[in-house]
Amino acid sequence: MFPELNNLLNTTPDRAEQGKLTLLCDAKTDGSFLVHHFLSFYLKANCKVCFVALIQSFSHYNIVGQKLGVNLTMARERGQLVFLEGLKSAVDVFFQAQEKPHPLQFLREASAGNLKPLFEFVRDALKPVDSGAAGWTYPVLLVDDLSVLLSLGLGAVAVLDFIHYCRATVCWELKGNVVVLVHDSGDVEDEENDILLNGLSHQSHLILRAEGLATGFCRDVHGQLRILWRRPSQSTSQRDQSLTYQYKIQDRSVSFFAKGMSPAVL
């Protein structure tokens, strides 16, 4: 996790809020550093994490996680981390017919499917074990990323249904958190992605939006991060709080600064 980002979000692993949906989105840049942050954050907070990693392999997250101070292999071995590796599972489900429904069953279907098997996988992964000996604080679902599901043929409504079920189970029933990443297509007309993004923005408690700079590529400032705190349940009289920072990604950390205060300029 990035200590500077914790300061901006005003959280630490010890006293993070529960029952929240966090939406990560990126536009014209790569927002995957936020996924790495939240993965290491919740592992350090001693949560039970279910990570649906659809876009990269396990070793990628493991190597970056080691730079951030968490060991994913060990977390998986002791049961703290349940990791669904999308790329590897896709090969399994595609070439061999499965007896029981596989979380990525929709890859085998010709028409648009639904994500019920994936939800059942998440629910089984995060349901509290009766023995209770493990002592994890609360469950967390992390998805990287939802736009892949749209690319693979699922409709925005199916993905929204999946998130709805996950929220009901993880956030409300189990008092845990859900963090998802969605790409913003920007000026490209992608109707399904816009529906998904708008729908999720409406339900989220916290939105982190990583954007590329409007002036183009820059070596010292990699992008801009917009943080938006929302209170979807309360009345709209209280205004949502929003902050904007610029950031530069380094090898092991990300440094944040106010707009125009990049160390390269000062």
Partner 1 sequence: MATVATCGGDAVGVGSAVATASKSNVTSFQRRGPRVSGTNDSGPRLVSITGTRPSVRNGQLLVSTGLPALDQLLGGGLAVGTVLLIEEDKYNIYSSLLFKYFLAEGIVNGHTLLVASANEDPANILQQIRPVSSSRFGHYYDASKRIPQELIEASKWHGFFLPEKISPTLKVEPCSLTHGYIKLLQFIQNIIYEEGFDGSNPQKKQKNILRIGIQNLGSPLWGDDICCTENGDSGHNLTKFLYVLRGLLRTSLSACIITMPTHLIQNKAFIAHVTNLSDTVVGLESFIGSERETNPLYKDYHGLIHIRQIPRLNNLVCDESDVKDLGFKLKRKLFTIEWVQDNYLRQERNIYPPGFSYLLKQKDSAWGEGSLQHSTFLMSFLAKGMGFPFFQLKLLLKDGFVLIKKGMLRDDSLRCSHSAI
Tokens describing residue 165: 């079920």
Q: Is 64 in the site for partner 1 (CB under 8 A)?
A: yes
Axis-axis angle for helices 32-44, 58-67 (nearest 10): 70
Alpha helix locations (H) across 71-190? 72-77, 86-95, 116-126, 146-151, 156-166
Shortest CB 70 distance to partner 1, Å: 14
- List % helix, strand, coil for the chain (3-state, nearest 5): 35, 20, 40
Give 110 or 133: the residue with its C-beta nearer to partner 1.
Answer: 110
| Of the candidates 75, 52, 72, the residue with the CA atom closest to the CA atom of residue 63 | 72
Residues in contact with partner 1, shown as a per-residue x/- string from 178 to 217 under the rule CB under 8 A: -----x-x--xxxx-x-------------------xxxxx
| Of the candidates 131, 144, 126, the residue with the CA atom closest to the CA atom of residue 48 | 126
Residues in 130-169 at the binding interface with partner 1, rule: CB under 8 A: 147-148, 150-153
User: Rounded to the nearest 5°, which phi and psi values hold at 221?
Assistant: -125, 110
User: In whole angstroms, what is the distance from residue 227 CA to residue 244 CA?
Assistant: 6
Q: Are the C-beta atoms of 243 and 226 separated by less than 8 Å?
A: yes
Residues in 42-61 at the binding interface with partner 1, rule: CB under 8 A: 55-57, 59-60
Give 87 or 134: the residue with its C-beta nearer to partner 1.
Answer: 87
Residues in contact with partner 1, shown as a per-residue x/- string from 164 to 183 under the rule CB under 8 A: -------------------x
Give 29 or 169: the residue with its C-beta nearer to partner 1.
Answer: 29
Q: Is 67 in the site for partner 1 (CB under 8 A)?
A: yes
Tokens describing residue 230: 């929302």
Q: Is 123 in the site for partner 1 (CB under 8 A)?
A: no
How many of the chain's residues bind partner 1 (CB under 8 A)? 56
Q: Is 40 in the site for partner 1 (CB under 8 A)?
A: no
Strand partners, 37: none
Q: Is 97 in the site for partner 1 (CB under 8 A)?
A: no
Identify the sign of the CA torsion 8, 206, 83, 28.
Answer: negative
Shortest CB 63 distance to partner 1, Å: 4
Residues forming contacts to partner 1 in the complex (CB under 8 A) are 30, 32-33, 36, 55-57, 59-60, 63-64, 67, 86-91, 94-95, 107-110, 147-148, 150-153, 183, 185, 188-191, 193, 213-221, 249-252, 254, 259-260, 262, 264-265
